[in-house]
Amino acid sequence: MALFSSKNPSFLIFFVILFSFLLPSSVFATTQKCIQEHFSALLHLKNGFHFSSYSLSTLPSWNSNNTDCCSWEGITCDGATGHVITLDLSSLRISGRIDSESLFRLRSLQRLNLAYNEFAASPIPSGFDQLTSLTHLNLSRLPFYGQIPLEISRLTSLVSLDLSYTYYSNDSGILPLKLENPNIGILVQNLSNLSELYLVYVNISAQGSEWGPALFLSRPRLRKLSLRECGLSDSIYSSLSQLHFLSELDLGHNNLSSVLPNFIGNFSSLTVLCLQNCSLSGSLPSFLVNLSKLEHLDLSFNSFSGPIPSSHVNQLLNLKKIILWNNLLNGTIPSSLFSLPSLQHLDLEGNKLGGRLDIIHNASSTQLEIIYLNRNNFQGMVPSFIFKLIKLRIIYLSFNNFSGVVELESFQNLVNLSSLHLSDNNLSIKDSGGNSNFISFPQIRSLSLRSCNIIKFPNLLRNQEQMRYLDLSNNRITGGIPKWIWKVGNGTLYYLNLSRNALQRIEPPFLHVSFSDQIALDLSFNKLEGSLPIPPPSTSFFSLSNNSFSGEIPVSICNTTSLEALDLSRNQFSGWIPQCLGEVSDGLKVLNLQGNAFSGTLRQTFKKGCNLQTVDFSENQLEGQVPRSLANCTMLEVLNLGNNQISDAFPSWVEALSQLRVLVLKSNKFYGRITLPQSNQSFSMLQIIDLSSNSFTGVLPSNIFLSWKAMIEEDKSQSKFLGRSLYSRGSTVYYQDTVTVMMKGQERKLTKILTIFTTIDLSNNCFQGDIPESIGILKWLRLLNLSGNGFRGQIPTSLENLRVLESLDLSRNNISGEIPWQLTRLTFLSTLNLSQNQLVGSIPQIKQFSTFTNKSFEGNLGLCGPPLSRKCISTPSVMLTFEETDSELDWKFMWIGFGVGYGVGMGVLCWTLTLWATGRKEYNKFIDRMFLLIFPPQYFL
């Protein structure tokens, strides 16, 4: 103690001097304010910014009155010099432009983060090599495009570089960043300090030798590498093999070879391995057992098959997240999976796993928070051990074969539970208690109990104040929709699906809670009655289809200004369609009023910028003409006006709708000729056209089909269903387009329309002339119906090019000549109708033709051979089509007479119907008198 006494001053002086050296200089120096040059540069930088209502900050501290920019939001300075060393404006949703001249005046910057903003699209500005002190650069999620500038390769102090998901998107497509010159090798060759490299969605052109072993060999500090969605192949492997010290590797969404190289098992420091959607197959790689430090494993969206070996997982004691969804894995789940001490997230969705989980008794993973087992083949009871995993937040067991009764009270002890999905099993969900039993039930945000044999609304819903997603569809709930249901979530509910029950009424008041944001509401396929309930203005998806609502639609429906989809189909609504529906919402994509009793003319005015993609007014009693303003709906894909009383010429302006895929005008009073399209891009997306049962006349132009590219060119993209993805806050609602077509002689409703399904139906009109040879160019056409017209000439031999044609109907025309033998090449043809024509000669007896019955050929007197009873006979000089007995000759001339009479009669009938449909008054009285002379009133008594 004497050392520190006042009697020993020399030691005190020594101690003070020593301590002064140990303390940083900043302790003795006052903190400097930011220098004037940086203050001015930041103000100029802000002047280029724009702050919308979506911006999360307007940078209020950035103003000329606050001269110390070191105190501004997102700014950090060097305390000794006052130089700005950090600029972080990430995730503020700022728009406008980046003043690069002002930015590059901040020469002392060490960290720059502009990610997740909405600046004006442009290439990455040149000049980054002026920021020589940069160690961390993050330009991810910005609308930059084009070549990554060479200057970035000169930032030799860089420790972290993130250019992920940086691209510009417009109507022409997506323009990503690209690495061509410099390529990946030039970019990293001087970055010897690089530890983290994130280039997700950058178009990397490097191939073959450019991925040589030396590429990353000089990067001993590289620890984290993400090259997801970069268009890579397995040529990258030779370079990766040198990175023994990697801790994170993400190569997801690239086309790698089917088998992973074993050298990945040597990456003993690896904690994150993401290889999702890489075209991988075979068994799960055995080298996984060597990755003892692995915490996050993602092999989803591949084709791995076979069982999950227990030996692959039970040694991964640090594993927190394992994602294997959407593979081909089968067998049972190893019980050791549920015993991993660190496991928090288990995702096995979308495999072929099966067996019983209720026999697993040693589940002891107390850290497990998320379980995705949906879309598999699991059987038996819902395993009881799930109710003991007290940290569970998310449970997805939907789309399996679980059976038995599940009491909702069983989940009561899972106090952290936020998502519970048990839909589409063989379960019976019950809640046996009253409202008081669920007071302490966890506050769930997402609940899906579709197809769970529920007979009443669960009582637990009464106390749910945070629920956002609720699906009780396809159950057996009867009675009324209680008014308290609208209080579920306390205004935060954004998805409510009560469809496909047996609900009969809506207890008033309807939707009396004011929802804070958009809500998707589906009450379709019930037994609801009464007048139309008006949803709140925030409703984005509203479906009442297949109920028994009646009366007129009030104009107040147009106050629902957030609508993306309105489906009132298959009810009993009547009266006029409100004119304002054409302008109800700028975001309206679906307007479906099919199958009601609407009458009057279509008076809707569809404004410019209309975003409608589906318009279905079919099966009503609408009159008048098609609104020309529909041409403003340039995104229109489905237009269905079939089964009405519309009287109009063919709306040739629809050819300008470049996205149109389905056009149905059948069973109306359309008339006149079909003219040749004005552009070689007309109807380029058209896959279904149905003009049947109208009064169209004239000859089909010879080149009418040349621009129908959807039927000409094979769709290289994956086939998908035609529909609409609609967004309601955090949820995606998918609207499925439907259409009824004549398929193989019968009407069939397609509840799902594949984009590769193609059909042309021009039947029951008054078309004449030859069938154009150009129809043979439609090589992806599947159904063709030209029956009930006045077509003549021969069957085009070009039909042999329709190699996927499944149904061909040319019946009830005036087609002559022989059946072309080339039609036997149509190996997919399962339905053929050539009846009631003037065909002659023998019926081909090979391939598909040997399967067709008499009905395919009857009414053609000149045809012979099986399946008809008339035999084909030959003489030494000539082949006769049938044995010409006196009786048969009489029938022959009678059929010829009938054919001529039929053709003349059809011509007169079509002429008459056309005049009648056009509403020419000078002919109407004459036609009416002639009709009464032929069919007097007593004829109908």
- The more confident residue out of 789 and 388 is 789
Q: For the chain, what are the domain ranges? A: 550-886, 887-941
Beta strands in 357-425 (DSSP E): 370-372, 377-380, 394-396, 401-407, 419-421
User: Poorest-confidence range of 369-378, 704-713, 892-901?
Assistant: 892-901
Q: Measured between alpha carbons, how far is 828 from 848 in angstroms, rounded to an integer?
A: 8
In whole angstroms, what is the distance from residue 439 CA to residue 451 CA?
Answer: 26
Cα–Cα distance measured from residue 439 to residue 422, given in angstroms and rounded to the nearest whole number: 22
What CATH superfamily classification does 550-886 receive? Ribonuclease Inhibitor (3.80.10.10)
Segment 487-515 mean pLDDT = 87
pLDDT of residue 435: 60
pLDDT band at 368 (very low <50, low <70, confident <90, very high): very high
- Distances, alpha carbon 2 to alpha carbons 12, 15, 249, in Å: 11, 14, 60
- Distance (Å, whole) CA 481 – CA 497: 12
**Amino acid in the structure at residue 442:** P
* Residues 130-189 pLDDT 10s: 999 999 999 999 999 999 999 999 999 999 999 999 988 876 778 889 988 788 888 888
Residue 553 and residue 530 in contact, taking contact as beta carbons nearer than 8 Å: no
The amino acid at residue 396 is Y
How far is Cα 213 from Cα 671, in angstroms, rounded to an integer?
72
**What pLDDT, on a 0 to 100 scale, did the predictor assign at position 939?**
35
Which positions ≥6 away from 776 have C-beta within 8 Å?
796, 797, 798, 799, 800, 801, 802
DSSP string for 591-617: EE--SSEEEEE------TT----EEE-
Length of the chain (residues)? 941
**In angstroms, how far is the first alpha carbon of the chain from the final one?**
130
- Check whether 911 has a pLDDT greater than 70: no
Q: Output the pLDDT for position 432.
A: 72
Mean pLDDT of 924-934: 45
pLDDT digits (tens, 9 = 90+) for 702-718: 888 998 999 998 765 55
What tens digit of pLDDT does each residue of 822-866 get? 999 999 999 999 999 999 999 998 878 888 999 999 999 999 999
Please state, in angstroms and rounded to a whole number, the distance separating the CA atoms of residues 864 and 857.
9
Cα angle 691, 697, 700; round to 5:
75
Q: In this predicted model, what pLDDT tens digit does every residue of 390-426 receive, in sequence order?
A: 899 999 999 999 999 999 999 998 999 999 999 999 9
In this structure, what token pair is assigned to residue 887?
Answer: 């009786």
- 833 vs 191, residue with greater confidence: 833
Q: Write down the pLDDT at residue 940.
A: 34
Number of H helices, E strands in the chain: 9, 65
**Alpha-carbon torsion (452, 455, 460, 465), positive or negative:** positive
pLDDT of residue 924: 47
Among candidate residues 387, 397, 395, the one with its CA nearest the CA of residue 419: 395
In percent, the amount of the chain with pLDDT more than 90 equals: 60
Biggest distance spanned by C-alpha atoms of the chain: 151
The residue type at 535? P
Closest to 612 in 3D by CA, of 651, 638, 593, 579: 638
Angle in degrees, CA 202, 206, 211, rounded to 5: 120
Write the pLDDT tens digit of every residue in 868-887.
989 888 644 333 343 334 34
pLDDT, mean over the chain: 86
Contact partners, residue 941, CB within 8 Å, separation at least 6: none
Question: Buried (b) or exposed (e) across 448-478, using 16+ Cβ within 10 A?
Answer: bbbbbebeebbbbbbebeebbbbbbbbbebe
When mean pLDDT is compared over 251-260, 424-433, 587-596, 841-850, the highest value belongs to 587-596
Give me the phi and psi of 784, to 5 degrees please: -135, 120
- State yes or no: pLDDT of 190 exceeds 80: yes
Contact between residue 837 and residue 811 where contact means Cβ atoms under 8 Å apart: yes
CA separation for the pair 908, 902 (Å, rounded): 10
Q: What pLDDT score does 314 carry?
A: 79
pLDDT for res 907: 54
pLDDT at 905: 56
What is the gyration radius of the CA atoms in the chain, in angstroms?
36
- Rounded Cα distance, 723 and 9, in Å: 88
Residue type at position 273: L
pLDDT at residue 3 greater than cutoff 50: no
pLDDT tens digits for range 265-324? 889 899 999 999 999 999 999 888 889 999 999 999 999 999 998 877 778 899 999 999
Give CA–CA dist 524/721, Å, rounded: 21
Q: How far is CA 507 from CA 458, 590, 873, in A?
A: 17, 27, 78
Q: Are 495 and 520 in contact (CB under 8 A)?
A: yes
Please give the pLDDT value at position 339.
Answer: 85
Q: What is the mean pLDDT of residues 712-731?
A: 67
User: pLDDT (tens digit, 9 = 90+) per residue, 464-484?
Assistant: 999 999 999 999 999 999 999
Query: Which residue would you say has higher pLDDT here, 673 or 881?
Result: 673
